[in-house]
Amino acid sequence: MSNGEETQPELNPSMTSADLEALLLSIAPMYAAPESNANNPLLGYSDELVASPGPMVMRPGAEPIQQTIMSPDEIRLTDVQEILAGLDSDDKDALALEMLGAGVFDDINDVFDDNFQRDEIVFNALVEQTINLAAEGTNLGFETTFLKVLMGAGDSDTSTIMKSIAEAKAKAAEEKKTGGRVIQWANPQGLVRSLKEESKGTLGRKATKREQQQFVKRIHNMQAKGLSVNVAAEAEAFQRQSAPVEAAAMDMSQARNSVMKVIMSRLGKA
């Protein structure tokens, strides 16, 4: 089952001290790192929601209730491999065009010769690269077009494909004359500003100079690979990866503050 958006435990002003202590213990697993699956990596999530066990809700004088979390179902490597195994030659040609459009590679001539015949070795290498890019985007905490390209493969029309290949070849020839594709790089100052703002909430401190430089480099590397970057989401993911202990401590601190607000509210009513 997948780990979707976290559902915070419910806080009840009538809780006893024992209830609050149990609640604090129930918070910790919510911030544990997800288990990895090296042989079947996570590539992303589908639009279908599935149910998974959530945190326990403490009830004074009654048995605790375990919540149910609805979250997007996981899409793993085996799911994509199953789709790829069912593709015919036309479907593979169409997938190659989709990978070109997503920025996995830049030149249609790398895959198709002058007779529009597909180079199977190059094609398979690009499929593997697309899978890796989808996994990389998911690991960094944001969606990319790469998974959609892989999941949408199939049911292709030969005449439409041949026309699209011809158009892509013509476009490649034109780009070669004009100097090729130009990447619009994100402004480094804007990237640093976003990282500084996110760092305050994620780590409780300012981003270091080295972190700022690494973040700008990472965003530009993603742009070079054709990734569609959500800067705010990437900034948080970057800080959590760079300083996981600090991020976990900040998460726990914020959770404790929520509980303390309930306690102080109770004392104020006493």
* Each residue's pLDDT tens digit, 140-152: 666 667 888 888 8
**Within a domain: residue 80?**
no
* Each residue's pLDDT tens digit, 111-134: 999 899 999 999 999 999 888 888
Residue 68: its pLDDT value, please? 86
Does one domain contain both 241 and 198?
yes
User: What is the rounded average pLDDT of the residues 221-232?
Assistant: 78
0.85 surpassed by pTM: no
Q: How many Å apart are CA 250 and CA 239, to the nearest integer? A: 12
**Within a domain: residue 79?**
no
Question: Which structural domain range is residue 225 located in?
Answer: 184-270
**Within a domain: residue 139?**
yes
Residue 15: its pLDDT value, please? 58
* Residue ending a domain, choose from 72, 99, 120: 72
Does one domain contain both 200 and 241?
yes
119-to-49, 89, 185, 202 alpha-carbon distances in Å = 38, 11, 32, 46
* Residue ending a domain, choose from 148, 178, 208: 178
* Residue ending a domain, choose from 178, 209, 242: 178
Residue 27: its pLDDT value, please? 55
**Within a domain: residue 78?**
no
Does one domain contain both 152 and 231?
no
